[in-house]
Amino acid sequence: MAAASGHQIELDGLGLVLQADAGETVLATLERHGYRMRRSCRNGVCEICEVELLSGCVQQRYPLCTLENNNQPSGKTVRALACTSVPLQDIRVKIEGLRVPGEQLVKKLVCDITAVEPLNHDVYRVRLHLPATNSHAIEFHAGQYLEICLPSGRKVPFSIGSAPDQSRDLELHIRHMAESETSNAVMEHLQNSPSVEIELPKGDCYIQAQDLRADTRVILAAASTGFSQIKSVCEHLLANQCSNPIHIYWGVREAADLYLAKLPEQWQREHTNVMFHAVVSEPESSTDWQGRTGLLPDAVLEDFDDFDNVEILTSGSPGMVYALLDACEARGFDAAHMHADVFAYAPRPAKA
């Protein structure tokens, strides 16, 4: 029996039942419970949020009518607009493309290339402008990546260097390797075309501010252009006023590879919970470097006596990532709290 406050909405094919509040639309009930579906105007005009009413009765506010489906003959289809339909009794609906809480929809779309600017001798910052229409709206988590779709059909992955909390502009940090045919093809396309096709979001290496406990310490560790991934995460955490300690480690071979060092230095100045550590592994190539030297994993171990309540997101080569994991595990770190794309594309055999 339905609760006095409203009626139940059964989601066909999922075996799930949601409780609607009195006078609440189907769309509002779905979104309150964390479900997502295609929708735009929210007033019944665009008809994007159309659902199939399999049983029950709803009052549709626009276009104004009462829609009912009580054991109609096979082939009878009753459609309602989720944004303006309020259940008058318990209903069962079929919704194409419904996303359950936490589920993301991977999309392929064309973006304008608004800037390709050098940040140092071989790294470029690329800015992409997403389409404005709601049907092309995308969602991603801080730390995920996209794939550039070249005209040849090849897809090339790059970490998203901007936070999801920002504008419709996406930022990429791309190292141009002249000896690489793929790298040359990517840069030639980006520098000579007005737009580019991308596919996103990809990857399960991310951190969300709302998932962090108050006592969690965050380590963001990157090598080279892996900084773009941790930049997205840090900007997301700061945009959500995260007060957790955030330790940023950026390991490079020489100081000239710190292509955007003024940005994390600014975060450190403006936020008391942010600590930035630049680490140069080949100081002989950086005669003016006065900062830390050595390997990134060693720098982390120098600063942390224990790894209780620590979440690590790291971006770099498989060698660096696994070296960091091994070093932290030796100090009692739980590997389940390390996030890295390397675990997906370059898994190593399980330990005996």
Lowest mean pLDDT among 33-42, 47-56, 87-96, 294-303: 33-42
Query: Which backbone phi and psi does 33 adopt, to 5 degrees?
Result: -90, 5
Please check whether residue 18 lies inside any domain of the structure: yes
Q: Which of 174, 202, 230 is the last residue of a domain?
A: 202
90 and 111: one domain? no
Domain count, the chain: 3
Res 72: pLDDT: 58
Do the Cβ atoms of 268 and 274 come closer than 8 Å? Answer: yes
- 123-135: average pLDDT: 84
Can you tell me the distance from the alpha carbon of 285 to that of 140, in angstroms, rounded to the nearest whole number? 38
Please check whether residue 352 lies inside any domain of the structure: no
**Can you give the residue range of the structural domain that contains 174?**
107-202
Please check whether residue 351 lies inside any domain of the structure: no
213 and 322: one domain? yes
Do the Cβ atoms of 217 and 310 come closer than 8 Å? Answer: yes
If DSSP codes are grouped into helix, strand and coil, which group holds residue 22?
A: coil
Can you tell me the distance from the alpha carbon of 8 to that of 15, in angstroms, rounded to the nearest whole number? 13
Q: Please write the tens of the pLDDT for every residue from 146-162.
A: 999 999 999 999 999 99
Percent of residues, the chain, with pLDDT higher than 70: 95
pLDDT-derived band at 26, boundaries 50, 70, 90: very high
233 and 278: one domain? yes
219 and 167: one domain? no
30: left (phi over 0), alpha (psi -120 to 50) or beta: alpha
70 and 125: one domain? no
> CATH no. for residue 90?
3.10.20.30
Q: Which of 43, 72, 94 is the last residue of a domain?
A: 94
Among candidate residues 257, 253, 300, the one with its CA nearest the CA of residue 281: 253
Please check whether residue 234 lies inside any domain of the structure: yes
Surface-to-core class of residue 150, CB atoms within 10 Å of its CB (0-12 exposed, 13-18 middle, 19+ buried): middle
Please check whether residue 158 lies inside any domain of the structure: yes
30, 35, 41, 43 alpha-carbon torsion, rounded to 10°: 0
Among candidate residues 136, 117, 119, the one with its CA nearest the CA of residue 127: 117
279 and 167: one domain? no
Please check whether residue 172 lies inside any domain of the structure: yes
User: Is the model's pLDDT at 227 over the cut of 50?
Assistant: yes
> CATH no. for residue 325?
3.40.50.80
> CATH no. for residue 132?
2.40.30.10
Please check whether residue 224 lies inside any domain of the structure: yes
Q: Please write the tens of the pLDDT for every residue from 181-201.
A: 999 999 999 999 999 999 999
User: Is the model's pLDDT at 263 over the cut of 50?
Assistant: yes
Please check whether residue 74 lies inside any domain of the structure: yes
Q: Please write the tens of the pLDDT for every residue from 266-291.
A: 999 999 999 999 999 999 989 899 99
